[in-house]
Amino acid sequence: MTELELIIDLHKNSVRQGPGSENDTLKALDFLNLQTSQNLKVADIGSGSGGQTILLAKNLNGHITAIDLFPEFLDELNEKSQKLGLTEKIDTLEKSMDNLSFKSEEFDLIWSEGAIYNIGFENGIKKWKDFLKVGGYLAVSEITWITQSRPNEIEEFWKSEYPEVDTAANKIKQLENNDYMLVGYFYLSQDSWIENYYKPMQARFEPFLKRHGNSELARKVVEDNQAEIDLYQKFKDYYSYGFYVARKNE
Ligand code: SAH
């Protein structure tokens, strides 16, 4: 198995593939002013195995297209939606978020939790805007500095991992510069990282290593993830995922 295949395998059979929670998804949903009677068209980009997709399907009247690059996650989502009787409301699409071919103004809502960084925040909000109706909403979570300054160690780490890491003020400015109006912002609590993402991941380390015969590459994948967790534990007061909810202007 390649490293990428191992990373996917480590993240399989988990509720979420990134920090987040039911509460966070519902809190972001609360900022939208959508007619509940409306038959909404929704895209969930970088859906993973669909922790948030299922919640959206339960709480919105409409149809959701869940998009992800990796079929392993979409298969899981399809299984879940079958079990829950939600297949009429959820379709999956295996495609890169960088290369979507939806129609202009097709969607009432574009959702994306913990995924837009794959193509960069500014690139993503620009590219996806065309698919959104005027007055439609974008709800997106993105790694965000939550203080004005921070220790060098964490600043250097994030700048090399993801150069677009920035404060909410600057992310909001980017939204405004690209014809979006902010309707809500909050950042994820530490529980959304630790209880909902890191602890369940750590519980999968041992069975994962066993499955892969404790191979060198499998051990590397675990070590890399543990290093990310250690860094979060040390610097969690300085960054989180910001959740941005914005409306596409006239
Ligand atoms: N929204 C989910 C998953 C977040 S993890 C959650 O919050 O639990 C990021 C997701 O983006 C993964 O499922 C990964 O497979 C997907 N991804 C990575 N690169 C992608 C790309 N270029 N296009 C579409 N999806 C991508």
Parse the chain into domains and list their residue ranges: 19-189+239-248
Strand, helix or coil for residue 160: helix
Strand, helix or coil for residue 22: helix
Q: Where are the alpha helices (DSSP H) in the chain?
A: 3-11, 22-30, 51-59, 71-83, 121-129, 152-161, 168-177, 190-193, 199-211, 216-235
- pLDDT tens across the length of the chain (250 residues): 999 999 999 999 999 999 999 999 999 999 998 766 679 999 999 999 999 999 999 999 999 999 999 999 999 999 999 999 999 999 999 999 999 999 999 999 999 999 999 999 999 999 999 999 999 999 999 999 999 999 999 999 999 999 999 999 999 999 999 999 999 999 999 999 999 999 999 999 999 999 999 999 999 999 999 999 999 999 999 999 999 999 999 8
How many Å lie between the centroid of ligand 1 and the Cα of residue 17?
Answer: 8
Decide whether any atom of ligand 1 lies within 6 Å of the 69 Cβ: yes
Pick from 168, 125, 137, 123: which is nearest to 249 by CA? 137
How many Å lie between the centroid of ligand 1 and the Cα of residue 115?
Answer: 5
Angstrom distance (rounded) from CA 95 to CA 99: 7
Angstrom distance (rounded) from CA 142 to CA 114: 6
CATH 3.40.190.10 fits 19-189+239-248, yes or no: no
Counting ligand 1 atoms within 8 A of each CB, the residue from 52, 53, 68, 97 with the most, and so the one to mutate, is 68
The pLDDT of residue 66: 98
How many Å lie between the centroid of ligand 1 and the Cα of residue 68?
Answer: 6
Pair 60, 54: CB distance under 8 Å: no
What type of residue is 170?
Answer: N
The pLDDT of residue 139: 98
How many Å lie between the centroid of ligand 1 and the Cα of residue 125?
Answer: 16
Chain centroid offset of residue 80 CA: 18
The pLDDT of residue 10: 97
pTM of full prediction above 0.75: yes
The pLDDT of residue 36: 66
Cβ neighbourhood burial of 244 (10 Å; 0-12, 13-18, 19+): buried
